[in-house]
Structure 1
């Protein structure tokens, strides 16, 4: 099924797309601020280790501000120069997953729907290495330590769903095929507290069937995501991205749950960022 989410979802996914522009090239001047629109389509599992996927469409405005003290967007939700050093940065990490209608999912038939889940928390980004290529731009290797609180929402209320720890090894390269082409490769295992595992994998007595036995979920390892994305300029003001990822759930804490259906799941995304307005003033190296 197709759902259209606005604002909150766009903050999550537009930020991930724009983060490919983190790496600054020589003489790379950018507007102090810019405003535009973001639109994308994603095909993702209905929940971790599900054997059914959903297609979701999102569209909304975005804002980037590259100030001397405060920076919004441009690879981070918000960060201060005081904690933006040459080899590490401290900012906010966000993640999200779309909801699922249990009527359309055989494993969850007659169970409550899964709401949109978003996660927010601090992130320590450490630059491990950087590389300069004669013909293929510049690249950097990061270790990102992310700890987030998870919440589910149907956009009329909010429920806390525990905590997630997700270290990430990320390689980003600008100038991969041309000056304005960006490549991102990442690998990120994740662990979560029992509340989030309960939300996805617990089967209480009222939902037991002949094919769905009682199951008490526990905290622990959820899986490891491996992803690749590429973005490029279609025009001076329109940037297009395409990406895909695989999550390997082998060894997950709740692999015995009747709701745990697939040890490997896949996601794909395609979208665009359209810059509509920008400041005349330019800055470098921010």
Structure 2
């Protein structure tokens, strides 16, 4: 168990805001770089600052039928440094190596807490805290597309491996790790001018520690309708995500999107906490760019 300093709490809260937007749409900003083309030849400001808001509606945990509605309004910051980058459709990351076809970086992610008191399957059990993840990601560009109407597309393969931790902002607990191969397609300006479309398909595998966190039922929490269960590691589920971003007015952009998660064949589908084979998430929001630097990013 580790103590969480105040600065990490602030950083994590920012990442949660970012992850809420990413769940709905990986393009959060009016400029070209945030529609998935970070290495575009177009000059982008080194940093920008703005505000955003929206909501997401998600399951409490994988294969849960209970849901968690989260509404947020907060400032956002984007920084496009040579090594450390915040925003740009990839959350916060530190670029280790980069070429025209691949990028190796350290990335982070997060998920919201769930209240067990409002969850019939987990009633009386410990609450699920906020989750955050950190680990390496390899992005390989498979193919670029150019369309007759001036639109562009890109197909990427992402290999993500992240350590997972939970926190109640008083302590941090290790929850194992996840491995997620993901195929993403990003398209800009093809459907309508200045719009972006994102499609992603992935499979998620997790260690036993994370499966325990979601699906294990200790004998102390067993009930007539909730048998004790010993979870194991392995396949967690597959995801299909679709997002769309569009201009609202100058320096303001909207986004909407959703994710379907398929848990058939998951390692712990016999757990009494495993409730649904198919779950979904959706979200709507906006970002409004208020300031940007005169200096431009060098990449």
TM-score w.r.t. the length of structure 2 is 0.87
Q: How does 1:23-34 map to 2 (within 5 A)?
A: 23=37, 28-34=42-48
Displacement of 1:74? 1.8
Cα distance in 2 between the residues matched to 1:38 and 1:238 = 9
Displacement of 1:210? 0.6
The alignment partner of 2:163 has SS state of: strand
Q: How does 1:202-213 map to 2 (within 5 A)?
A: 202-213=216-227
Comparing 168-177 and 70-79, the one that deviates more:
70-79
Q: Which of structures 1 and 2 has the larger relative contact order (alpha carbons within 8 angstroms, sep 6+)?
A: 2
Q: Which residue of 2 aligns with 1:188?
A: 202
Contiguous gaps of at least 5 residues in structure 2: 1-11
Q: Which residue of the other structure, out of 252, 268, 288, is the alignment partner of 1:254?
A: 268
Cα pair 1:20 1:183 within 8 Å, conserved: no
Cα distance in 2 between the residues matched to 1:274 and 1:254 = 42
Q: Which residue of 2 aligns with 1:120?
A: 134
Cα pair 1:124 1:144 within 8 Å, conserved: yes
Displacement of 1:69? 5.2
Q: Which residue of the other structure, out of 227, 230, 241, is the alignment partner of 2:241?
A: 227
Q: Which residue of 2 aligns with 1:7?
A: 14
Displacement of 1:45? 0.2
Contiguous gaps of at least 5 residues in structure 1: none
Q: Does 1:268 align with 2:282?
A: yes
Inter-CA distance 250–68: structure 2 relative to 1 (3 Å threshold): closer
Cα distance in 2 between the residues matched to 1:26 and 1:152 = 36
Displacement of 1:283? 5.2
The alignment partner of 2:27 has SS state of: helix
Displacement of 1:55? 0.5
Cα distance in 1 between the residues matched to 2:121 and 2:263 = 17
Cα distance in 2 between the residues matched to 1:117 and 1:218 = 19
Cα distance in 1 between the residues matched to 2:280 and 2:150 = 29
Cα distance in 1 between the residues matched to 2:99 and 2:40 = 18
Cα distance per residue 1:177-227 (max 9 Å; x no partner): 233100000011000000000000000011111100010000000000100
Q: Which residue of 1 aligns with 2:27?
A: 17
Cα pair 2:254 2:286 within 8 Å, conserved: yes
The alignment partner of 1:17 has SS state of: coil
TM-score w.r.t. the length of structure 1 is 0.91
